Structure 1
Amino acid sequence: MTWTAPEIERRREPFVADERAMLQGWLDMHRDTLLWKCQGLTGDQLTKRAVEPSTLSLLGLVRHMAGVERSWFHRAAGLPYDGLYYTDDNRDGDHNDGTAESAEADFATFRAECAKADALAADLSLDHTFVTTRGTTISLRWVYNHMIEEYARHNGHADLIRERIDGTTGA
């Protein structure tokens, strides 16, 4: 049996909310949008590359964003983190090593990383700061804004990749 990415009902961003709810709402909407771009596709379709020489695929984007979720929210919470899908010797493992057979597990990892990120951030103030390995002090507010920007950029990629696979477009 071939695994197919499940349907997703996208949460919409709030139109009126306090800052924290607004940031979380936009982040949730972008997380859902990435999965929405993948819904109904098989593992084989999810691994289809955008256009050579690019290694971008929808599965690669899901894997990449799982790693980004882990990286930023673990750091914000003061926890150690690993590269999830990449190492110093394989910097593009998130994009290059996903397979049709790994797709279901990769989607589960993505969802788990999003849930863990939310749990790690839940008790932190938006003004909470931490120092990166490069010595830069960053606030949790910055992390939320960066994550929204990162998803927005990659969701644009996802839209083009999906259109190439089966012609499906949409906001």
Structure 2
Amino acid sequence: MSRDVPDTTAPERQILQDLLNDNREGLLECVSGLTEQQARTRLVASLTTPMALVKHAAFAEKVWFHVTLPGRTRAEVGIPETIDESFKLEDSDTIASLVAAFRETCAESDRIAAAYSLDDVGEHSRLGPVSLRWMYVHMIEELARHAGHGDILREQLLASRS
């Protein structure tokens, strides 16, 4: 699937936001064209499935932009304490519900981040002080990695269907 190339000469913050948005969309492509059953299929020993990657990505967005940046707790935000829990799918989870939740989470992440400068610092429970700039770079990295995982899983699932 083809996405627009972000402006490569934009100011730093716009570049970071554009790359983050691009990787968000790349991650969502991993569930595109899959059935609900395919999107839940485990092809690896971990809980990683295309749907679980989307659910985990929403969790990661919340950890950094909803918890760390404004100084809230995971309980306040309503997310699990462990990463493994963020991959667990509920029977009620669907592709559509997880995509909608992810998009809503990302929109809220963008609203929260807009109130801060790139040099502003939040306190992460494990890493200590981290700047918003670092959070952007980390999320770009994390979503790119998971989009790659999802792309491979999607390719395997679609190949098994033919």
Match of 1:86 in 2: 80
How many pairs align?
157
User: Does the 8 Å contact 1:47/1:98 carry over to 2?
Assistant: no
User: Does the 8 Å contact 2:26/2:144 carry over to 1?
Assistant: no
Within the candidate set 26, 41, 47, 1:33 is matched to 26
Using the size of structure 2 for normalisation, the TM-score is 0.86
Using the size of structure 1 for normalisation, the TM-score is 0.82
Greater relative CO (CA pairs within 8 A, separation 6+):
2
Aligned 1:21-170 pairs, distance under 5 A: 21-51=14-44, 53-74=45-66, 75-82=68-75, 84=78, 86-87=80-81, 92-99=84-91, 101-103=92-94, 104-134=96-126, 136-167=128-159
CA RMSD of aligned residues (A): 2.3
Q: Which has the higher helix share?
A: 2
Kindly state the Cα deviation for residue 92 of structure 1 after the two structures are TM-superposed: 2.3
Q: Deviations over 1:5-54 (max 9, x none)?
A: xxx98453221110000000000000001112211212111111123x22
- Give the whole-Å Cα distance in 1 for the aligned partners of 2:27 and 2:79: 18
Identity %: 36
Q: Deviations over 1:67-125 (max 9, x none)?
A: 0001100121223334756345xx523323244x4112222111111000000001210
Task: Go from structure 1 to structure 2 and tell me whether the alpha carbon gap of 1:114 and 1:86 turns closer, same or farther (over 3 Å shift).
Answer: same
